[in-house]
């Protein structure tokens, strides 16, 4: 397809996904992934600019998710979010790794890649769904995002500790990330509340936030890391600034509008394009097996804790924690580029990752969406903290 027509086709896909989402009442992220998969297998391949903007979209979503977390709630309910998030990572990591090694006959290193890729929960998907349903403002949404971050932290640490070889530039990335986060949390109020910058049509505050995220992306690429973790931590630490005044809350809404218009749709569409239907069809048995392993392992790792701490939202929590996309794709791509897994194994893992972003989310929204926030979480104060 001629490159000049690609932007127009992508624009049609983004607009069409919105219409389908509104018509069917399901998450637009799901529709965008499916449309991306259809387009990719019909011959449309992402241009380099699409890949970069998609990467930025994932980082922006992660940052926005961090700003939505109630730090007081996270501190008060750290036990709950840690248990749900940690076992959401650990059980699928072990289960998928063992299945790949003993049943599928993959190599030791390839099995570890499978375990890492299928242990993830997509913070981008979870956040998008919570925003669309309005649950991002409720305790269940904030707890879900906190637990998801812990899951992905485990995934990132596992990939880093087991495979990645730190270099001087890795250290530079860590130092720059810490410095940017510290400076931003200390001095961003100067930008946000400066009388000459506020409510300007040129949106200097949004451009400032994009600059911070672009700095993360550049130094992450330089150090063979990923900008998701510092972006989320920055959003988390800046969440107080976004909630302390009406002006910064409006800024957060404007940033979300800018992101959801074009940037984040490309993130989901490009993710869908990574699925190769012919390769999946040739290994459909393994694809189905790995998908079931991921879902069952997530159920074992999440449901029983969710049943205890979120009794009327336990299945919804479990299904959303079963989603995967960003880190799962990153882990699979790392394994492919390092020669640890082959193209077929890569397609299977990415196919499972993307399918897990679509199927559990659809089921959660269609049949398990909590209706009333006051009915979702029933904290057992007597059991946890004493009468």
The pLDDT profile of the chain, 387 residues, written as one tens digit per residue, is: 565 788 899 999 999 999 998 888 777 888 888 899 899 999 888 888 898 998 898 888 888 888 877 777 778 888 999 999 999 999 999 999 999 999 999 999 999 999 999 999 988 789 888 888 888 888 888 889 889 989 988 888 888 788 777 889 999 999 999 999 999 999 888 777 766 656 666 678 888 999 999 999 999 889 887 788 898 889 888 887 777 666 677 888 888 888 888 898 998 898 888 878 888 888 999 999 999 999 999 999 999 999 999 888 899 999 999 998 878 888 887 888 788 999 899 989 989 998 998 899 999 988 998 865 444 454 444 444 333
324 in a structural domain: yes
89 in a structural domain: yes
Separation between Cα atoms, residue 379 and residue 261, nearest integer Å = 37
Confidence (pLDDT) at 201:
60
342 in a structural domain: yes
Which two tokens mark 97? 């790794």
280 in a structural domain: yes
Q: Which domain holds residue 171?
A: 47-124+139-261+276-371
30 in a structural domain: no
107 in a structural domain: yes
Whose CA is closest to 80, among 377, 324, 382? Answer: 377
Separation between Cα atoms, residue 379 and residue 318, nearest integer Å = 17
Q: Render 205-244 in DSSP notation, one character per residue.
A: HHHHHHHHHHHHHHHHHHTT--SHHHHHHHHHHHHHHHHS
Domains identified in the chain, total number: 1
Which two tokens mark 170? 């890795």
Q: Residue 347 sits in a domain of what CATH number?
A: 1.20.1530.20
Confidence (pLDDT) at 17:
93
Whose CA is closest to 84, among 131, 137, 148, 142? Answer: 148
Q: pTM score, two decimals? A: 0.79
Whose CA is closest to 175, among 208, 205, 210, 215? Answer: 215
Which two tokens mark 30? 């799901």
Q: Helices marked H in the chain — which ranges? A: 6-24, 28-41, 48-68, 71-76, 78-98, 108-118, 123-133, 139-162, 168-192, 204-222, 228-243, 246-258, 264-273, 277-282, 284-309, 314-321, 326-337, 343-367, 381-384
13 in a structural domain: no
266 in a structural domain: no
Confidence (pLDDT) at 3:
57
């Amino acid at each position: 397809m001629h490159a000049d027509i690609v932007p127009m086709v992508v624009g049609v896909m983004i607009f069409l996904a919105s219409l389908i989402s509104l018509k069917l009442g399901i998450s637009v992220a799901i529709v965008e992934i499916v449309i991306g998969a259809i387009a990719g297998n019909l011959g449309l391949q992402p241009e380099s600019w699409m890949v970069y903007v998609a990467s930025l979209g994932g980082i922006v979503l992660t940052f926005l998710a961090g700003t939505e977390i109630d730090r007081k709630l996270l501190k008060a309910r750290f036990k709950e979010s840690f248990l749900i998030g940690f076992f959401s990572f650990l059980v699928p990591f072990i289960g998928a790794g063992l299945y790949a090694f003993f049943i599928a006959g993959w190599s030791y290193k390839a099995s570890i890649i499978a375990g890492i890729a299928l242990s993830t929960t997509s913070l981008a998907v979870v956040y998008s769904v919570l925003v669309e349903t309005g649950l991002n403002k409720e305790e269940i949404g904030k707890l879900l995002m906190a637990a998801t971050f812990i899951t992905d932290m485990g995934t990132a640490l596992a990939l880093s500790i087991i495979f990645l070889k730190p270099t001087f530039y890795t250290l530079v990335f860590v130092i720059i990330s810490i410095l940017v986060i510290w400076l931003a949390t200390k001095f961003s109020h100067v930008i946000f509340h400066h009388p000459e910058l506020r409510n300007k049509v040129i949106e200097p505050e949004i451009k400032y936030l994009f600059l911070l995220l672009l700095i993360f992306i550049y130094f992450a690429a330089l150090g063979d890391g990923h900008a998701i973790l510092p972006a989320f931590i920055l959003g988390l630490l800046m969440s107080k600034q976004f909630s302390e005044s009406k002006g910064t809350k409006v800024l957060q809404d404007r940033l979300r509008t800018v992101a959801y218009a074009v940037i984040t749709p490309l993130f989901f569409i490009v993710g869908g394009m990574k699925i190769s239907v012919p390769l999946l069809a040739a290994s459909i048995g393994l694809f189905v097996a790995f998908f079931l392993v991921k879902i069952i392992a997530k159920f074992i790792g999440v449901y029983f804790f969710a049943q205890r701490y979120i009794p009327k939202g336990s299945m919804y929590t479990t299904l959303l924690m079963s989603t995967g996309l960003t880190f799962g794709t990153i882990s699979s791509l790392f394994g492919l580029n390092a020669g640890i897994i082959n193209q077929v194994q890569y397609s299977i893992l990415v196919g499972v990752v993307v399918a897990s972003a679509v199927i559990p989310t659809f089921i959660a929204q269609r049949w398990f969406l909590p209706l009333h926030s006051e009915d979702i979480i029933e904290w057992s104060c007597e059991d946890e903290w004493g009468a």
